[in-house]
Amino acid sequence: MGVTVIKLLGLADIEGKVSPHQMQVKGALKMRAASLEYVRDVKALADYIGGRVEKPGIGEDWAVCKELYPGVTVHLVFNRADDEFPARLRALYNGDKIRMIKGDELATVAISLANQLLRYVREANPGVKLPEVCYKV
């Protein structure tokens, strides 16, 4: 799989540097990130949300994307924890119609998709003690 060359935007790039929705998404994804350490099959995860695996080439361990609307795609980019940093999940966006969608809608969809990722983790790891957040979605 080759590197995908696309311009990815965060909510701050779409709404402006003082984006309340960026902080909302960042906090919600931070709470969910450690749970994604339990993902063993990224392709199955992408299929579960109706998306696809991608390789944007921004230092990710894995990334999946899903088209939200024609011309609007969300990219969920994951980095595993290491000795220096905790696990990290980011939501980035692209598409020729991205600026037509309001920031609160993009934030809501990104958090909903992150919840779907947790549902996958829960279903794919029966009998495993998972982080508490996996049982709250």
- Percentage of the chain lying above the pLDDT 70 cut: 89
pTM: 0.86
Q: Where are the domains of the chain?
A: 11-135
DSSP H or E run through 68: strand 62-69
DSSP H or E run through 113: helix 103-124
Phi/psi at 13 (5° precision): -70, -30
Rounded Cα gap, residues 128 and 117, in angstroms: 16
Tell me the per-residue pLDDT of 121-136, one tens digit each, with 9 for 90 and over.
999 999 999 999 999 9
pLDDT at residue 43 in the model? 98
pLDDT at residue 10 in the model? 74
Q: Evaluate if residue 16 carries a pLDDT over 70.
A: no
Tell me the per-residue pLDDT of 21-49, one tens digit each, with 9 for 90 and over.
788 889 999 999 999 999 999 999 999 99
Which pLDDT band holds residue 58 (cuts at 50, 70, 90)?
A: confident
Judged by DSSP in three states, 80 sits in coil
Stretch 100-126: mean pLDDT: 93
Q: Quote the tokens at residue 126.
A: 């029966």
Higher pLDDT, 12 or 81: 81
pLDDT at residue 3 in the model? 52
pLDDT at residue 132 in the model? 95
User: Dihedral of CA 29/117/94/54: which sign?
Assistant: positive
Q: Which of 1-5, 10-14, 65-69 has the lowest mean pLDDT?
A: 1-5
